[in-house]
């Protein structure tokens, strides 16, 4: 009887062309990604402190730089040449940076550990899970975690009167988009990392972006050529988006930033899935 | 019409990594309900074969059919029906014992209720019920291995794949694992395992292949292999280190089917070990120690490859 049901269950697999079935999910990742997210949620129940601490980092930055230095600086030139308070100027940039840092941390250090040491994906890939599920699950988890921080940070911004426009309702999805872009890129990069030393390259990419992508002052302070360089960095896209939304200076130009980040995330996801197959399914 | 009881069929199965050929055109079949083993030293290609069967390593050549499906195209569908106990523990050290089974079961898409019910049964089976809510890391090697076995059974697999199931365990822990695997075998679970321990192969396998340097050297039941490639008895002689080589030359004059000179011992393959020992003494030799024993798979392997299993 159970054998019969076994055969019935296998039936659709024989009727559909196998190439089609093999292609589905290898590219996208499917339901399996949810199981990996479920796994992470359980694992973090035992390590909830790590979850909580992630919220405080951008908050401390906001209090120290935004408010402390803000008193000294006063107003700066915001989007479209409008003068805005320094704290209101810096806060969305800190949200963008924290979305980047959270996603990069999750998708590089954590993924590397799971890939090379915990053998988490080796175990998962012995089950019906696919490499695409693993890549999507990891990025999904990074987004859930980043989303929680973004909500908390937005609440603080609201309470401090740093939100100046109704467009700010799009700030959370935007923070998620930034997280998606960096988690995808970070995970793809991680599949090329050979040892812990290589993480210096990650820091080498993220720290200057944090410091120089108009986080603390407008793009106009740079000479022209440098403006072009900054204009091309991924974090700048995120900062420009969030700043526009929370300050209320929104135009169709912002859609370029959205496109940039979406392509970055999807390319990263595709590369990561493929590379995990190559690394683990040898 | 393929035989429905043949769960795995391999023809000319090959695995290459660059220039290195790990598995060199092997043929075998796994039948429903049997315990089938790959016996061979480290590096013989056993693990590569298991990974191909587990659909986590695409074959480089030959044919491989698992449960009537193609492992390259139907990997997830096949893996849903396999249980895999890998050589290195891949337990989730960030989760408890119970959560390990829960999450692994979820990877198979099983409902939590079904997993909870099976978990209670499986933890009882591997004698870990009392450790259910403990973290994994403090468990002993034997407990971790038993948990890995329990985990591999969560989806009630049709084939259980065990890659070196007791490597790295102390003798007592090995016997506990063997006992559990023997029970599974008696329940009718189809086992496919690799080992470089001849006693493990003798205890667990109904049928096995001897594998060496990527090729299958012989196939049969442990008894058949011993009958075909060895003598009923073996006389082991040990001489003083300084006399070892000289003694070996003289022992060669004693009647035997075959003689093997190892680094520390001389093995005489004979029908009657006591008679052979008397013959050796009649030559005027007095070994430091002598032992008459039955032939084992170790002797089969030595005969087939000229090397000892543990040497690798």
Q: How many structural domains is chain A composed of?
A: 1
CATH number at residue B116: 3.40.50.300
State which of B163, B194, B219 marks the end of a domain: B219
Q: How many structural domains is chain B composed of?
A: 2
Please tell me whether residue B175 adopts helix, strand or coil conformation: helix
Is the confidence metric ipTM above 0.90 for this complex? no
Q: Report pLDDT digits (tens) over A136-190.
A: 999 999 999 889 889 999 999 999 999 999 999 999 999 999 999 999 999 999 9
CA separation for the pair B96, B118 (Å, rounded): 16
What is the residue whose two structure tokens read 């492992």? Answer: B71
Q: Report pLDDT digits (tens) over B113-152.
A: 999 999 999 999 999 999 999 999 999 999 999 999 999 9
Contact B94 A43 (CB under 8 A): yes
CA separation for the pair B72, B64 (Å, rounded): 9
Q: Is the pLDDT of residue A7 over 80?
A: no
Are B235 and B116 contained in the same domain?
A: no
Please tell me whether residue B233 adopts helix, strand or coil conformation: strand
Please, which residues have CB within 8 angstroms of residue B277's CB and are 6 or more apart in sequence? B235, B290, B292
Mutate to test the interface with A, among B76, B101, B108 (most CBs of A within 10 A): B76
Query: Contact at 8 Å (CB) between B192 and B46?
Result: no
Are B112 and B143 contained in the same domain?
A: yes
Could you tell me what percent of chain A has a pLDDT over 90? 70
Please report whether residue A158 resides in a domain: yes
Contact B99 A42 (CB under 8 A): yes
Please report whether residue B186 resides in a domain: yes
User: From the CA of B58, how many Å to the nearest CA of chain A?
Assistant: 7
Phi and psi at residue B18, to the nearest 5°:
65, -125
The strand pair at B289-294 and B258-261 is best described as unpaired
State which of B158, B184, B219 marks the end of a domain: B219
Helix, strand, coil percentages, rounded to 5, for chain A = 80, 0, 20
User: From the CA of A58, how many Å to the nearest CA of chain B?
Assistant: 27
Rg (CA), chain A: 21
Mean pLDDT of chain A: 87
| Average of per-residue pLDDT across B191-219 | 94
Among B10-24, B49-63, B251-265, the range scoring the smallest mean pLDDT is B251-265
CATH number at residue B289: 3.30.70.980
CA separation for the pair A114, B68 (Å, rounded): 33
Please report whether residue A2 resides in a domain: no
Please report whether residue B224 resides in a domain: no
Burial degree of A22 (CB within 10 A; 0-12, 13-18, 19+): middle
Query: Contact at 8 Å (CB) between A107 and A190?
Result: yes
Q: Nearest 5°: CA angle at B85, between B83 and B88?
A: 155
Contact A128 B17 (CB under 8 A): no
Q: pLDDT category, A48, cuts 50, 70, 90?
A: confident
Q: Is the pLDDT of residue A15 over 50?
A: no
Please tell me which of the candidates B57, B70, B79 has its beta carbon nearest to residue A127. Answer: B79
Are B208 and B237 contained in the same domain?
A: no
Among residues B154, B249, B162, B6, the alpha carbon closest in space to that of A35 is found at B154
Return the structure tokens found at A67.
């408010």
Q: pLDDT category, B3, cuts 50, 70, 90?
A: confident
**Residues of chain A neighbouring B144 (CB-CB closer than 8 A):** none
Return the structure tokens found at B258.
């075959």
**Residues of chain B neighbouring A21 (CB-CB closer than 8 A):** 73-74, 77
**Bridge partners for B16 per DSSP:** B21
Please tell me which of the candidates A13, A25, A282 has its beta carbon nearest to residue B57. Answer: A282
Please report whether residue A58 resides in a domain: yes
Q: pLDDT category, A29, cuts 50, 70, 90?
A: low
Residue A125 at interface with chain B, using a CB cutoff of 8 Å: yes
Are B56 and B171 contained in the same domain?
A: yes
In the prediction, which pLDDT does A13 show?
Answer: 40
**Most distant pair of Cα atoms in chain B: their distance:** 74
Q: pLDDT category, B311, cuts 50, 70, 90?
A: low
The order of strands in the sheet holding B6-17 is B20-31, B6-17, B61-66
| Domain that includes residue B102, residue range | 6-219
Are B18 and B151 contained in the same domain?
A: yes
Rg (CA), chain B: 22
In the prediction, which pLDDT does B209 show?
Answer: 96
In the prediction, which pLDDT does A20 show?
Answer: 43
Are B215 and B238 contained in the same domain?
A: no
Query: Contact at 8 Å (CB) between B253 and B283?
Result: yes
Please tell me which of the candidates A31, A46, A125 has its beta carbon nearest to residue B56. Answer: A125
Please report whether residue A1 resides in a domain: no
CA separation for the pair B251, B283 (Å, rounded): 8
Please report whether residue A165 resides in a domain: yes
State the CB neighbour count (10 A cutoff) for residue A34: 16
> CA nearest B49 in A: which residue?
A282
Q: Is the pLDDT of residue A18 over 60?
A: no
CA separation for the pair B92, A54 (Å, rounded): 23
**Residues of chain A neighbouring B69 (CB-CB closer than 8 A):** 10, 13
Are B261 and B148 contained in the same domain?
A: no
Contact B95 A119 (CB under 8 A): no
Return the structure tokens found at B78.
């096949």
Q: pLDDT category, A12, cuts 50, 70, 90?
A: very low
In the prediction, which pLDDT does A125 show?
Answer: 95
State which of B175, B198, B219 marks the end of a domain: B219
In the prediction, which pLDDT does A22 show?
Answer: 44
Q: Which residues of B173-211 are buried (b: 16+ CB within 10 A; e: fewer)?
A: bbebbbebbeebbeeebbbbbbbbbbebbbbbbebbbbb
Are B97 and B131 contained in the same domain?
A: yes
State the CB neighbour count (10 A cutoff) for residue A24: 13
| Domain that includes residue A255, residue range | 28-280
């Amino acid at each position: 009887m159970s054998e019969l049901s076994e055969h019935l269950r296998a039936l659709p697999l024989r009727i559909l062309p196998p190439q089609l079935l093999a292609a589905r999910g290898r590219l996208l990742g499917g339901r399996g990604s949810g199981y990996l997210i479920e796994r992470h949620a359980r694992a973090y129940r035992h390590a909830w402190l790590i979850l909580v601490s992630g919220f405080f980092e951008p908050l401390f930055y906001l209090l120290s730089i935004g408010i402390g230095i803000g008193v000294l600086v006063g107003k700066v030139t915001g989007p479209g040449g409008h003068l805005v308070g320094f704290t209101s100027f810096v806060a969305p940039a800190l949200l963008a940076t924290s979305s980047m840092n959270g996603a990069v941390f999750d998708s590089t250090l954590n993924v590397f550990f799971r890939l090379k040491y915990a053998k988490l994906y080796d175990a998962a890939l012995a089950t019906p899970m696919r490499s695409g599920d693993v890549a999507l699950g990891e990025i999904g988890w990074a987004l859930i975690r980043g989303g929680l921080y973004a909500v908390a940070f937005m609440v603080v911004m609201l309470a401090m009167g740093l939100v100046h426009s109704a467009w700010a309702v799009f700030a959370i999805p935007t923070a998620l988009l930034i997280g998606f872009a960096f988690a995808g890129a970070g995970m793809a990069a991680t599949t090329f990392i050979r040892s812990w030393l290589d993480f210096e390259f990650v820091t080498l990419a993220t720290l200057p972006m944090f410091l120089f992508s108009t986080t603390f002052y407008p793009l106009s302070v740079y000479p022209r050529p440098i403006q072009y360089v900054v204009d091309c960095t991924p974090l700048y896209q995120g900062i420009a988006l969030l700043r526009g939304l929370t300050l209320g200076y929104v135009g169709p130009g912002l859609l370029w930033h959205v496109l940039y980040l979406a392509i970055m995330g999807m390319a990263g996801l595709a590369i990561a899935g493929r590379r995990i197959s190559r690394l683990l399914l040898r | 019409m393929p035989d429905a009881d043949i769960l795995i069929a391999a023809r000319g199965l090959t695995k290459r990594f660059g220039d290195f050929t790990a598995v060199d055109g092997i043929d075998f079949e796994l039948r429903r309900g049997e315990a089938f083993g790959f016996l061979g030293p480290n590096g013989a290609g056993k693990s590569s074969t298991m990974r191909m069967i587990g659909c986590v390593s695409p074959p480089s050549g030959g044919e491989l059919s698992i449960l009537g499906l193609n492992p390259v195209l139907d990997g997830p569908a096949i893996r849903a029906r396999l249980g895999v106990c890998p050589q290195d523990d891949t337990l989730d050290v960030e989760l408890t014992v119970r959560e390990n089974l829960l999450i692994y079961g979820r990877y198979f898409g099983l409902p939590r209720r079904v997993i909870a019910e099976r978990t209670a049964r499986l933890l009882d089976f591997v004698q870990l019920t009392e450790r259910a809510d403990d973290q994994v890391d403090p468990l002993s090697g034997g407990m971790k291995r038993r948990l890995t076995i329990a985990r591999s059974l969560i989806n009630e697999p049709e084939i259980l794949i065990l890659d070196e199931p007791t490597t790295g365990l102390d003798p007592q822990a090995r016997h506990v694992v063997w006992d559990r695997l023997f029970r599974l075998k008696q329940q009718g679970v189809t086992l496919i395992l690799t080992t470089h321990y001849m006693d493990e192969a003798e205890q667990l396998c109904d049928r096995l292949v001897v594998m060496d340097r990527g090729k299958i050297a012989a196939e049969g039941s442990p008894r058949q292999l011993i009958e075909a490639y060895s003598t009923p008895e073996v006389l082991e002689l040990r001489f003083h280190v300084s006399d070892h080589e000289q003694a070996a030359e003289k022992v060669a004059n004693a009647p035997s089917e075959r003689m093997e000179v190892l680094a520390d011992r001389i093995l005489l393959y004979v029908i009657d070990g006591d008679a052979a020992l008397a013959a050796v003494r009649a030559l005027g030799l007095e070994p430091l120690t002598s032992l008459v024993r039955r032939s084992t798979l170790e002797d089969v392997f030595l005969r087939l490859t000229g090397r000892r299993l543990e040497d690798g």
